[in-house]
Amino acid sequence: MKLLLPFLLAALTVTATAQPAPGTPPAPGATAAKPKPFSAGDTNAYIKVAESMQFQLTLSLTLRGKFKDSEPEIVALGNKIHTEMTKAWTPGVDLAQLRGVDGKKIPMTLSKNDKAALAKVGTIKDEKKWLVAYFDLFAKESKKSAADAERIAKAVQDADLKAFIEKTAALLKSQSEAIEAKEKEVKARK
């Protein structure tokens, strides 16, 4: 019995200090550890990618509204982009807020530069020229956004943010390719 006692005490000590398995909810009454806030660089990276996402959301909504009665293929493209980007947007906002990004810093509208570029296209009165100019802008900015997101993902330190940005970069690239294909189709119209 004397030999068994030290082993039993050691087993009880290990059991009492053992950590729960990853993904296991905290024990009742225990508080979950607060996630580490993003660094300033990671916060800026998130905001840059969120601006790109906001651009995609806004331009896709414009397509849906402007062509709802006349161009079903364009409306379908707008719907697809908007749906995909909305599904990606919400988890990104949740992650950013969980990691200390002030909600006021999360872009909810277009940036000043994007607004100016869109306003310039808006001055075009001819419907066909407007459509070409709109898709030129959409394709150019989407391609740039995808490349920027891929570059930003390489520099991000936070693993969760990196995964979010990599996923968003792939989505932006896919959407960019669809927009470029539609741009070529629109330009080929007589």
Domain ranges of the chain: 38-188
pLDDT of residue 32: 64
- Residue with more model confidence, 171 or 28: 171
For the domain made up of 38-188, the CATH class stated in words is mainly alpha
* Whole-number percent of the chain with pLDDT over 70: 83
Cα gap 64→128, rounded to integer Å = 16
Closest CA to 66 of 126, 132, 131, 139: 131
**Other beta carbons within 10 Å of 107:** 16
The answer, as to whether pTM is greater than 0.85, is no
pLDDT in tens, 110-155: 999 999 999 999 999 998 999 999 999 999 999 999 999 999 999 9
How far, in whole angstroms, is CA 149 from its chain's centroid? 9
